[in-house]
Amino acid sequence: MRIRRKKAFKGLCREDGNILLLFAGALTVIIFFVGISMDFGLICIKRSALMNLCQLAKEERFAFQDTIRYSENPGLDSYQMIEDVMRNNNFKGTVKVYFYERMPESSYRYYRIRTQLSEEYSYTFLRIFGISTTTITAYYDGGETYGEGISDVIWHPSSPVFLYNGSYTSREGGGYDYNNSDIPGDW
């Protein structure tokens, strides 16, 4: 009787084809993680390119500092300058510029600018699972202060600050949208 049991268990313990199943399962998991890593890596590269464009706009802003300083509408002029820099560098995404200036004082002037670049990224691997795009965003903050003492006389635009404080967002096909109540909360 013992011999029969051994033969019965011997038939159940066959290992033919198990290696193939393990290999197929492991290969599926490896392909999944390689695909996710590829999309994540491409997103990091795209975000790094956006950060480089932000840095380029920051350097250009310093070149046109007096243009912004003596502008009647410094918010719009800042947006137009940054928009031109982005388009000249073949940026196809959305440019959003936040501009905020404090109420003017005769001897002091302070404003902040945030440039935000957004671009759509089309997934390569995750499309298999129905995920097609995501938005990649990068931004940088800058600002300027003029005036050091009580006797300094600082030039100010003739328009009140609430007419040019806010956000300027590029539209697809040209132009921009202005929103005077859209200021970042962390300012």
Domain boundaries along the sequence of the chain: 16-179
Alpha-carbon 69 to chain mean position: 27
| pLDDT interval class at 74 (50, 70, 90) | very high
State the pLDDT at residue 103.
87
Q: Span 51-72, mean pLDDT?
A: 84
pTM of the model: 0.79
State the pLDDT at residue 5.
53
Whether residue 114 has pLDDT greater than 90: yes
Residue 65's CB is within 10 A of a number of other CB atoms, namely: 11
Nearest to 77 by CA among 164, 187, 183: 164
Terminus-to-terminus CA distance in the chain, angstroms?
Answer: 85
State the pLDDT at residue 170.
96
* Distance separating alpha carbons of residues 142 and 104, to the nearest angstrom: 18
Q: Span 55-79, mean pLDDT?
A: 85
Check: CB of residue 65 under 8 Å from CB of residue 81.
no
| pLDDT interval class at 2 (50, 70, 90) | low
| pLDDT interval class at 7 (50, 70, 90) | low
State percent of the chain over pLDDT 90: 58
* Distance separating alpha carbons of residues 37 and 43, to the nearest angstrom: 10
Report the amino acid identity of residue 149: G
